[in-house]
Structure formats: structure tokens, C-alpha cells
Amino acid sequence: MRRLFAAAAALAVLAGTPAAAQMRALSDPVVPAPNPEALFTSKDPTLNRNKQAALHIMRELLKCNEWNRAGEWLTDKYIQHNPMAASGLKGVIYYFTEVAKRKPLDPCPALSADDPNGVVAVNAEGDYVTVLTRRVVPYGSDPKDTYTTTWFDTWRFVDGKADEHWDPATLPPAKPQASNAVKPLTPEQAAERVADREAIENLMWTYDRSLDMYDADKYAAHFTEDGAFGQTKGHEALKKMITDLVASRAKQDTDGTSLGTMRHFTMNQYIEFTGPTTAKYHYYHQSVFGDFGRPGDKDAPKIVAAGNGVDDLVKVDGKWLIKYRNVGAKDDI
């Protein structure tokens, strides 16, 4: 009665503790028998034969890993009811020797009360033998700290060999998987997403326009302070890239090698939001030069560059900007 009150009090305390706190074992520890091999005998000849076969399974097979002798005490059929094991003598031998990689002990010691899975009791009736053993289990919160509970193995014997086996094993719990499912947006989030898309579309349109108009200040303003076009990083370097382009175009106009008006075309755009304030902008692009249908133009526009890009975008103080412009991205499908 005193123990019941103690258990109830412990449960009451646990009920008031945070969910992260792990329950502690309330039971008395499981204690193996001091002379476990003495439990595998019976005055009844049949029960004694079955108990002795169970002793060999516990000692020679499970403790000493002499699986080359498994056929002495297991039938070829050996039906398993452990969800982790397949039926059949060959299957159980393969598991312990090839999967678990158990190595034989030589010499093979007797069962002992000091075994981690020390035998607690052995019961036999008819064709069945059940062996109760200690199971040492680590606490999830501290694997160095353990508690004990009881395991059982039950065998059904045919002519002195185990033909069928039961134990309480279960499949291991599935590891938590990161969900790839897209969570539905709230109405507020959906409205903000629409506004973000419009802002990004405007950013990338005015980016192309400022480039085609050779406007260095407006071009650089589309990037974050440390934003980059390839290896060209920072506002001052980006501005210089445009002014150098202007100088190059002026030289082409002077020496008669100009290709005409510059236009950049961005196509097949896809905006991938990677976070509340980050996105990737996927696209195909073309750089085209020509007079684009002006009177007297006899030359068709020329495509001088094409490819696909993936730009990193970031929202800074409510404004979308280019963090990294990558017009030479590899196919990302």
C-alpha cells in the first residue's frame, strides 16, 4: 500500500512538470536469478529436453554466438514472430553472422546473473518454453543513466528443436522527416506574396531598362550594398562597370563598329521564395543589338549573348534588391 501511495505521488509530480522532462522508472529493478542455468531443468523428460534446448539457444547461440551450431537446436523451418527477423534457419544465421557481425566467444562461459540480459525465470508447459530476462534500457534524456524492464522469449519445440519463436520486439520508430509539403498561406501572407511578386517583377524590369539606358546610378541601386554581378561586387564597382560600357560604346560609335541599340530580354521567369525575405529568380536571357525596325535599317537584330540565370534576391527594409546576379547559372531542373 505504501508503494502505491509513492507511485501516485510521483505521477502527480510528473503531471506538473514540463513536457520535456522524462518520466523516471517507478518499479523495482529486475534482478536475474543467482544460478540461471539451474532453471533449465525439469523432472518431466520432455520438458527437461525442451528446457535444455532453450539453455543451448540462450548460451551457445545468443551469448556465445556459435551460430555454426544453430542447426542443433533450431529447425530448418524456424518460424519467426519478431518483425525484425525473417523465418528460416538460414535467415537467422545470416542475420547474426553477416548483419549483426556477432563473433563467437571461446571458451563459451555459462549463463550468469551478471549478464546484461540475465535470466530471471524459465517456464515450460507442453511444447512451449518461455525465458524471462532482464532488459537494461537507457533513458532518452541521458543515455548513461538506465533502468531495467523484462524481456521474454518463447519457443515451441518439435523433437527437441525450436520450431517457432515469439518475443515482444517492435519495429523501430520512423525518424522524423522534413516535410516537403507547402503550408497554405494565410490571407495576409497571400496578399503580401502577391505584392512581393509585383515588386520583384518591377525590380527586374527596371534593372534591364537601366542597363539598356546605361544609367550607372539607377543600375547600381538595384543591388544591395554588397550586391554583385558575377565577380563585380559593391555599388561603386557596379557603377564603374556601366561607365566602362559607355566608354566602350562611344569608341565603337567613333570607329564604326557599333552594333546598334542594346536591349536585354528576360524570359520564362520563375520566382522561388526561399524565405519571408529571400527569393531566387530563375530565367532565360538574351542580349540583342540592332536598330529594331528604325527607318532605313537593313540589318536584323543580332543576339550576342544568351543563357539562363538564377539570381539571389533579398528584401531589405521592405524593398527587394539583387544580392547576386548570376547570368551563367547551370541548368537547375
Per-residue pLDDT tens for 242-275?
999 889 888 888 888 887 888 889 989 999 999 9
Model confidence band, residue 5 (pLDDT cutoffs 50, 70, 90): very low
Residue closest to 204 by CA, chosen among 332, 330, 321, 303: 321
pTM comes to 0.51
pLDDT at 21: 57
pLDDT higher than 60, residue 315: yes
Omega before 109 within 30 of 0, i.e. cis: no
pLDDT digits (tens, 9 = 90+) for 54-98: 999 999 999 999 999 999 999 999 999 988 888 999 989 988 888
pLDDT at 299: 62
| DSSP track, 224-265 | EEEEEETTEESHHHHHHHHHHHHHHHHHHHHHT----EEEEE
Q: What 3-state class would DSSP assign to 106?
A: coil
pLDDT higher than 60, residue 3: no
Q: Across the chain, what does the average pLDDT equal?
A: 88
Give the count of alpha carbons within 13 A of 178, CB side only.
1
Domains of the chain: 24-166 (3.10.450.50), 189-325 (3.10.450.50)
